[in-house]
């Protein structure tokens, strides 16, 4: 398929455009990214770090986003 996984360097707004349902994952980690005016300019990593989401919790966030992306691709 050639689809790349999220690394955290993607802009939050791009992830939300790619998978609109990802707002649920962001929200479950306490990130209100869908309504944030900074999301078009902030990477997933930067947004997470700004809210204290680092280390394993950040890795869990990425895994959840990538799992959702994989599921979306599988259902195409």
Which one-letter DSSP state was computed for residue 11?
A: B
CA–CA distance, 74 with 76 (Å, rounded to integer): 6
Domain count of the fold of the chain: 1
Q: Does residue 31 come out as left (phi exceeding 0), alpha (psi in the -120 to 50 range) or beta?
A: beta
Residue 40 half-sphere exposure, CB side, CA atoms within 13 Å?
A: 1
Give how far the C-alpha of residue 57 lies from the chain's centroid of Cα atoms, to the nearest Å. 13
Domain span including residue 28: 12-74
In a domain, 18, yes or no: yes
> Could you report the per-residue pLDDT of 3-21, keeping only the tens digit for each?
689 999 999 999 999 999 9
In a domain, 2, yes or no: no
- Whether residue 75 has pLDDT greater than 70: yes
Give the model's pLDDT for residue 2.
54
In a domain, 4, yes or no: no
Q: What is the CATH number of the domain that holds 63?
A: 1.10.3910
């Amino acid at each position: 398929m050639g689809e790349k996984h999220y690394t955290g360097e993607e802009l939050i707004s791009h992830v939300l455009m790619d998978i609109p349902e990802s707002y649920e994952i962001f929200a479950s980690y306490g990130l209100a990214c869908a309504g944030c005016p900074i999301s078009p300019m902030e990477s997933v990593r930067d947004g997470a770090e700004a809210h204290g989401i680092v280390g394993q919790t950040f890795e869990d966030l990425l895994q959840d986003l990538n799992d959702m992306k994989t599921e979306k691709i599988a259902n195409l």
